Amino acid sequence: MAKPPSDASSDHAEQLPPEPLLADDELDRLDDFLDSDQVGEDALDLISAHGFLVALAVAPSEQPAETWLEELFQGEPNYQSDAEREEITALLTRLRDNAISVLEQGGLPELPFELTLDGIAPEETPIGDWCAGFMEAVFSDEAAWFQDDEEAAATLLLPFMLLSGLFDDEPDMAELSKDTARQEELVGQLPELVLDLYLHYRVPPETAKPKPRPKKPAGGKKPPRGPKR
């Protein structure tokens, strides 16, 4: 069993505050819909859906909207109209797309809960629900997540697996779950851990490190500026 990252925040010391992925009223709208009788009992709630969609933003492969919507809702919601279908689908898609945009710029996504356990087991908190939703997205396309570098993927996903509570029956994971101080540390690092995963899956290795700046040519003219990295 791989160990959780030792200090994911060290690479993002100058990071700006996390950015919200939807406005509060939009999150409230999704919360009301996902908590209503219009969706089945097995559908993800708002917290789990947020984790699910952030994982889709990180995922190494793109899933068709109908595929991930089916996974999120576990069936077809009872929409009251085509307009409502378009509204809800657009909000869910925009949450995912906003996560991509934030991560693409090296920012951190704001998560819909306080980043602390306060001595409570993760699976009994929204943190556990969010991580479980995140792992649902991983399970929905597991081969893509693990195909290129299974060991690196397992190491980067381990905090999400640990905090989700879905793997507590596994001996190695049960041992890690006893380290409450380490769990609290990982919770505080969750936004950075998401960015680490995004960089692992979405940033090509050859562009991960900036090239040296070209020397100033003779004559005092500056060379053309290359693309930002």
Structure tokens at 175: 């041992």
Q: How confident is the model at residue 1 (pLDDT cuts 50, 70, 90)?
A: low
Average pLDDT over every residue of 143-172? 91
Does the structure show a pLDDT above 80 at 228?
no
Structure tokens at 4: 């959780």
Does the structure show a pLDDT above 80 at 207?
no
Does the structure show a pLDDT above 80 at 214?
no
Ranges of beta strands (E only) in the chain are none
Is residue 2 a contact partner of residue 154, using CB atoms and an 8 Å limit?
Answer: yes
Residue ranges in the chain assigned as alpha helix (H): 24-34, 46-58, 65-73, 82-104, 126-140, 142-146, 150-164, 171-177, 180-188, 190-202
Average pLDDT over every residue of 159-183? 90
* pLDDT, tens digit, 9 for 90 and up, residues 35-73: 999 999 999 999 999 999 999 999 999 999 999 999 999
pTM (global) more than 0.85? no
* pLDDT, tens digit, 9 for 90 and up, residues 12-43: 546 678 999 999 999 999 999 999 999 999 99
* pLDDT, tens digit, 9 for 90 and up, residues 74-132: 999 999 999 999 999 999 999 999 999 999 999 999 999 999 999 999 999 999 999 99
Query: Bigger pLDDT: 215 or 177?
Result: 177
Report the C-alpha gap between 95 and 199 in whole angstroms: 19
Average pLDDT over every residue of 134-158? 93
Residue 19: what are its φ and ψ, rounded to 5°?
Answer: -105, 135
